[in-house]
Structure 1
Amino acid sequence: MRLTVFWDRMRQQFGDTYAESVAKDYVMAELDGRTIEQALADGEPAKRVWQAVVATFNVPSKLQ
C-alpha cells in the first residue's frame, strides 16, 4: 500500500482534520504502543499500519 492510499483512507475514515490528529496522538497497542506517525517514521509498512487502524477503529468494509 502506498502512503498516498493510506492517507486517503485515513481521511475518508476520520475526515481531513481528525485523521492527522489520530495519526499524531492516538497510541495503538497493535503498533507496539506507538502512534501511526511514529510507526510510519520507524519504517513500518503502510499496509501494516492500516491493518492496525482497521483492528482498532470501526472501519467500514469498503475501506478495508
Structure 2
Amino acid sequence: MRLTEFWRRMHEHFGEVYAESFAKDHVMSELGGRTVCQALDAGWEAKDVWRVVCRTQGVTARLR
C-alpha cells in the first residue's frame, strides 16, 4: 500500500481534519506504543499500520 492510498483511506474514514489529529496524537499499543505517524516514521509498512487502524477503530469493510 502506498502512503497516498493510506492517507486517502484515513481521510475517508476519519474525515480530513480528524485523520491528521488521530494520526499525530492517538498512541496505540498495537503499534508498540506509537502513534500512526511515529510508526510510519519508524519504518512500519503503511499496510501494516492500516491493518492495525482497521482492527482497532472499526473501519468499514469497504475501506479495508
Give the TM-score normalised by structure 1.
Answer: 0.98
Q: In structure 1, how many angstroms separate the alpha carbons of the residues matched to 2:58 and 2:45?
A: 21
Identical-pair percentage: 56
Q: In structure 2, how many angstroms separate the alpha carbons of the residues matched to 1:8 and 1:39?
A: 18
Residue matched to 2:62 = 62
Which consecutive unaligned segments of at least 5 residues does structure 1 have?
A: none
Q: In structure 1, how many angstroms separate the alpha carbons of the residues matched to 2:22 and 2:56?
A: 12
Give the counterpart letter for 1:45 in structure 2: E
Q: For residues 14-48 of structure 1, what are the alpha-carbon distances to aligned partners after superposition, in whole Å with 9 as ceiling and x for unaligned?
A: 00000000000000111011000000000100000
The alignment covers a number of residue pairs equal to 64
Structure 1 stretches of 4+ moved >4 Å: none
1:49 match: secondary structure: helix
- Asked if residue 21 in structure 1 is aligned to residue 28 in structure 2, the reply is no
Which consecutive unaligned segments of at least 5 residues does structure 2 have?
A: none
Q: In structure 2, how many angstroms separate the alpha carbons of the residues matched to 1:24 and 1:39?
A: 10
1:21 match: secondary structure: helix
For the aligned residue pairs, the C-alpha RMSD in angstroms reads 0.4
Q: In structure 2, how many angstroms separate the alpha carbons of the residues matched to 1:62 and 1:43?
A: 26
Give the TM-score normalised by structure 2.
Answer: 0.98
